Amino acid sequence: MVTWIKTRRAVLGSRHLTPTPATIAVRGPRIASVSLPGDPPPTPGPDDVVVDVGDHLVTPAFVNGHTHLAMSAMRGVGLDAMAGNIIEDLYFRIEAELTAEDVRAFTRMGAAESLLAGVGAVWDHYYFAEAVAEGMVDMGLTGVVAPTLQDLAGPGVPRLEAALDATVAIATDAGLAEAGIVAACGPHATDTVSEALWTRLAQLADDHHLPIHAHVAQSIEEYRRSLDRHGSSPVDWLASLGVLKAGAGMLLVHGLYVTEADLGRLRPGTNVLCYCPFSQLQFGFPAAVEGWWKAGIPFVVGTDCGASNDSMSVQQELRLLASGRAFAVAPSSAGQRFRSSGDLSQARALDVLRRKRRDEQQALADPRTLLDTVWRVPGGLHPRLDVGRLVAGARANICIWDARHPAWWPRTSPVRALTMGDISTPWGLMVNGAWIGERGAVRESLLSSDEWREARAEADGRLRALAKRAGLPEWITALDG
């Protein structure tokens, strides 16, 4: 059976942004064909299903370039620890108490939130990765699962061999592949993974043609340790080990402490950086993404996790990518001089700086650039998961957006709404060729289902038990309240 989606307005991907009439045929988990004006008219079979959505806009579902779905359980916990290294100061303490059952239950919560934000695929990185994969399958979400690997520090150290086994198991599981779940190698960071393990993982990535997905230069502690231990930056050290050219490429996440010299060592054909602006605003500071752009290094946008970003909507990150450089204007020396003097010449100097920063960021604000980071680039990172575009052979991850929603009015620029608007939950959502919830009531049908109520109740109970085991009484009080 084939499902035919007909629309008078489709955006096929970030390189095809002009809305066009289209008929998209979906067979199983993949797009079988896309018929455009001028093509021979499609001929549905007697058992096929035709869904005519009229003027509703049809687009690829979004791809979240980096997240930890299960860490939605920690949303709002320990925000005071953001002043230090919250990963080491708090998250490791909680994660040491996790069970596989906890991770599967919490993953369902993060997956549901992602789906309701129009995300059809994620790049996840976490402990008990097989449970992450199961939780994603439970909710119908596709993506790349990287088991977190550590041998120097962190809660993953005692589970290292199990995590390595999980990497191979996910990579070779035909059932998971059919469900749209594939594997990546997931070294945690350069200060929690030894040279021996990095070398081992590079070989594993080569053997199974897997991408490597790791946090790199994400904290001052990691950068200092790299200088102390290796006499070089994290990126420089990985380059010296040959990791940057291993496997199917490498996704380097956060990059807060990446230098211009580091950017020169990255390989644009195989290395991709990841920018998580709202998360970085909380646990550190936004990375210098304009430098990545000028150096020609491709990058994706991710949400990171609920623990350091109160939203799982990767689409909402695009506004910061487009305009975030303007935040540097007010605290600049020009801004300080104006505020202390009130002089007109200083006000003019401040305006000159504003215009200069705007000119410098125009390329980053281009809709194609913005949508590349949540469609084309992350959707093409894994050789066995083709998402982020509406073409024959790609995974059928499709959003249908309600043309009647005020966020789309007056429909003069749907691409601007996609990049800068608050477009909410899709009117219809297909992931891996299957409808999520009911068309026209995706949110209501998902949240009112018996399956969701049971999943939420299990996650609530497991979260209270986890808080107790982790010795965080204030967390328990907040949960009970």
Residues 243/377, Cβ–Cβ less than 8 Å: no
Residues 6 or more apart from 144 whose CB is under 8 A from it?
Answer: 121, 122, 123, 124, 181, 182, 183, 184, 211, 213, 381, 382, 385
42-79 pLDDT, tens digit each: 899 999 999 999 999 999 999 999 999 999 999 987 66
Rg for the chain, CA atoms, rounded: 23
Strand partners, 22: 7
What is the Cα–Cα distance from 68 to 23, expressed in whole angstroms? 35
Alpha-helical regions (H) of 117-156? 129-139
Tell me, what's the pLDDT at 481?
62
Tell me, what's the pLDDT at 80?
60
For 110, 408, 452, the CA distances from 239, given in Å and listed in that order, are 34, 45, 45
Using a 10 angstrom Cβ sphere, with 0-12 exposed, 13-18 middle and 19 or more buried, the burial of residue 262 is buried
Q: 158: number of CA atoms within 13 Å, CB side?
A: 6
Neighbours of 234 (CB within 10 A): 26
| Full strand arrangement of the beta sheet holding 212-216 | 212-216, 250-254, 271-275, 299-301
Tell me, what's the pLDDT at 82?
56
Written as tens digits, the pLDDT of the chain (481 aa) is 999 999 999 999 999 999 999 999 999 999 999 999 999 988 999 999 999 999 999 999 999 999 999 999 999 876 665 556 777 878 888 999 999 999 999 999 999 999 999 999 999 999 999 999 999 999 999 999 999 999 999 999 999 999 999 999 999 999 999 999 999 999 999 999 999 999 999 999 999 999 999 999 999 999 999 999 999 999 999 999 999 999 999 999 999 999 999 999 999 989 999 999 999 988 889 999 999 999 999 999 999 999 889 999 999 999 999 988 888 899 999 999 999 999 999 999 999 999 998 888 888 899 999 999 999 999 999 999 999 999 999 999 999 999 899 999 988 889 999 999 999 899 999 999 999 999 999 999 999 999 999 999 999 999 999 999 988 877 777 777 6
Q: Which fold has domain 62-327+364-376?
A: TIM Barrel (3.20.20)
Cα 370 to chain centroid, rounded? 14
Q: Is the pTM of this model over 0.75?
A: yes
Tell me, what's the pLDDT at 10?
97
Instruction: Cis check for the bond before 187: say yes or no (omega within 30 of 0).
Output: no
Tell me, what's the pLDDT at 168?
98
What is the Cα–Cα distance from 120 to 123, expressed in whole angstroms? 11
What is the Cα–Cα distance from 44 to 27, expressed in whole angstroms? 12
Neighbours of 222 (CB within 10 A): 24
Tell me, what's the pLDDT at 419?
95
Tell me, what's the pLDDT at 379?
97
Class at the top of the CATH hierarchy for domain 3-60+388-441: mainly beta
Neighbours of 480 (CB within 10 A): 8
Q: What are the backbone angles phi and psi of residue 470, rounded to the nearest 5°?
A: -80, -5
Residues 273/297, Cβ–Cβ less than 8 Å: yes
Quick one: tokens of 338? 């104006």
